[in-house]
């Protein structure tokens, strides 16, 4: 019996009639979320985010646990569905149901958007503080063995607000009303450590010191002897932050804003670089080290000056550090490497859409930020599961998502098993299998 086409009038292909029907069975365009589920289970992402939440609901009437709701939200964000409204259109998706541990046919459908919104508005600041500490614990758990040395890259970014959200302020530097969250990443592995929503203004020295104190203490609770290097831009260089890092026996290398005194000191060096320029050597760069005591500092500290002359003129930039070594190495190899954190922040903002902070309450927006951190963990762990020398190790999150998450799959729920059938033409089948093997053997 011929199927009745649902798209009448399609043109023939090489003389053959073209028909289209909706009888292919249970299909999904997000077959790769099955792999994301394994990553989330090994990292215990859902437990980290929802463990501190108090559940006062009637157990008899509960259909969706907090863990299932957080899991669904993180997996959907990683798959490119960053809006909470998207869940209403995907409640019956078989792959997403499997991702949260439900059978594709006999299992209950996913939760609705209002249910997820209630979850986002549930935590108070105490619960959020415990979740934040749990994120640091998650970072430490992600290592198979304690590292000898870690690098903490701290930076902030703009998060434009479009309404009357709490903590949103006008920022003249970004020329918009925004939040200005602080992000802390592992500069060596790219793993997220903490993301904190905060008002749209530059953080003070006391605020920076408070954030670093909590992060370092929590890390040292797991790894007592780990060596910690903190890197940041010039507005993270303040007496409270420097004194804290020295007290906690941490290394630091931070940008230092130039002032009139430093301009005077650097003037002869700039002149010397300009005189040494020639058409054979159009760029001249020199490095100098000097002791310096800023007005608000309690003592003198070491500055490294980078002086450069090009056809556009000469300039000088300074960093402050307690590291030993040549100025050229400290500046070019150690300090400039902190620029990678901007790419990590871009990954979180652009590919997990962490700037979807449209709730009116700051607590709800902070909880959303933690959910987007979870999605970042999923994509980051999936990318790191690729072989070290493969091109996927340097791919963007969007490339990882399109290649390994957005895969068509047919789902069949049988009596004793669930059968997943992927396209025979899928070109990266062997690579996905290798990545899955790496996740199950060595972990994310």
Q: Phi/psi class of residue 443: alpha, beta or left (left: φ > 0; alpha: ψ in -120 to 50)?
A: left
Q: Phi/psi of residue 144, each to 5°?
A: -70, -35
Structural tokens at position 360: 């009116």
Q: Which sign, positive or negative, has the C-alpha torsion 394, 396, 402, 407? A: positive
Structural tokens at position 227: 């060596």
Among residues 181, 197, 193, 293, which one has the least CA distance to residue 242? 293
pLDDT of residue 2: 56
How far is residue 99 from each of residues 76, 288, 426, measured CA to CA in Å? Answer: 10, 56, 21
Helices (H) and strands (E) in the chain, counts: 15, 14
Residue 331 DSSP symbol: I
- Cα distance between residue 350 and residue 160, in whole Å: 13
Structural tokens at position 177: 């009303």
- pTM of the predicted model as reported, rounded to 2 decimal places: 0.93
- Cα distance between residue 325 and residue 307, in whole Å: 18
Looking up tokens 């959907």, which residue turns up? 76
**Most distant CA atoms of the chain, gap in Å:** 91
Q: Residue 39, Cα to own-chain centre: how many angstroms? A: 15
- Cα distance between residue 363 and residue 117, in whole Å: 12
Note whether 377 and 192 are within 8 A (CB).
yes
- The per-residue pLDDT for range 77-99, each reduced to its tens digit, is 999 999 999 999 999 999 999 99
- Cα distance between residue 202 and residue 180, in whole Å: 7
- Cα distance between residue 383 and residue 78, in whole Å: 12
Percentage of residues of the chain with pLDDT beyond 70: 99
Is residue 395 scored above 60 in pLDDT? yes
Structural tokens at position 178: 């925004």
Note whether 117 and 86 are within 8 A (CB).
no
- When pLDDT is cut at 50, 70 and 90, the band that residue 25 belongs to is confident
- The per-residue pLDDT for range 154-211, each reduced to its tens digit, is 999 999 998 889 999 999 999 999 999 999 999 999 999 999 999 999 999 999 999 9
Among residues 203, 260, 259, 267, which one has the least CA distance to residue 232? 203
Q: Which sign, positive or negative, has the C-alpha torsion 260, 266, 270, 272? A: positive
How far is residue 297 from each of residues 100, 243, 252, 293, 320, measured CA to CA in Å? Answer: 52, 9, 15, 6, 12
- The per-residue pLDDT for range 326-344, each reduced to its tens digit, is 999 999 999 999 988 999 9
Among residues 198, 196, 185, which one has the least CA distance to residue 232? 185
């Amino acid at each position: 019996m011929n199927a009745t086409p649902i798209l009448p009038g399609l043109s023939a292909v090489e003389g053959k009639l073209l028909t289209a029907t909706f009888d292919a069975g249970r299909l999904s365009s997000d077959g790769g979320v099955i792999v994301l589920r394994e990553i989330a289970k090994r990292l215990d992402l859902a437990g980290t985010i929802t463990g501190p939440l108090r559940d006062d609901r009637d157990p008899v009437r509960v259909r969706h646990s907090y863990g299932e709701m957080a899991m669904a939200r993180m997996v959907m964000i990683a798959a490119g569905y960053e809006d909470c409204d998207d869940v209403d259109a995907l409640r019956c998706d078989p792959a997403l149901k499997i991702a949260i541990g439900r059978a594709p046919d006999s299992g209950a459908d996913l939760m609705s958007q209002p249910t997820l919104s209630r979850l986002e508005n549930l935590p108070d600041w105490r619960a959020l503080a415990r979740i934040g500490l749990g994120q640091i614990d998650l970072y430490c758990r992600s290592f198979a063995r304690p590292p000898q040395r870690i690098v903490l890259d701290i930076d902030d970014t703009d998060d434009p607000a479009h309404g009357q959200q709490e903590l949103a302020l006008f920022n003249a530097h970004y020329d918009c009303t925004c939040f200005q969250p602080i992000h802390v990443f592992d500069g060596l592995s790219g793993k997220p450590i903490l993301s904190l929503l905060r008002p749209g203004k530059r953080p003070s020295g006391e605020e920076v010191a408070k954030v670093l104190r909590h992060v370092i203490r929590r890390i040292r609770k797991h790894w007592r002897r780990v060596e910690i290097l903190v890197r940041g831009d010039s507005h993270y260089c303040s007496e409270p932050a420097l004194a804290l890092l020295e007290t906690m026996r941490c290394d630091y290398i931070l940008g230092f804003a130039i002032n009139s005194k430093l301009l005077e000191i650097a003037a002869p060096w700039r002149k010397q670089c300009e005189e040494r320029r020639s058409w054979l050597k159009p760029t001249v760069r020199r490095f100098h080290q000097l002791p310096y005591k800023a007005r608000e500092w309690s003592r003198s500290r070491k500055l490294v000056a980078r002086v450069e002359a090009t056809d556009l003129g000469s300039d000088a930039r300074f960093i402050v550090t307690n590291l030993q070594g040549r100025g050229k190495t400290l500046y070019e190899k150690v300090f400039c490497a902190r620029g990678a954190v901007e790419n990590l922040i871009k990954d979180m903002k652009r590919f997990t859409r962490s700037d979807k902070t449209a709730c009116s309450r700051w607590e709800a927006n902070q909880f959303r930020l933690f959910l987007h951190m979870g999605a970042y963990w999923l994509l980051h762990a999936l990318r790191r599961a690729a072989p070290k020398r493969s091109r996927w190790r340097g791919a963007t999150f969007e490339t990882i998502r399109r290649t390994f998450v957005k895969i068509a799959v047919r789902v069949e729920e049988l009596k004793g098993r669930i059968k997943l059938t992927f396209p025979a033409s899928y070109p990266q089948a062997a690579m996905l299998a290798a990545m899955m093997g790496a996740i199950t053997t060595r972990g994310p």
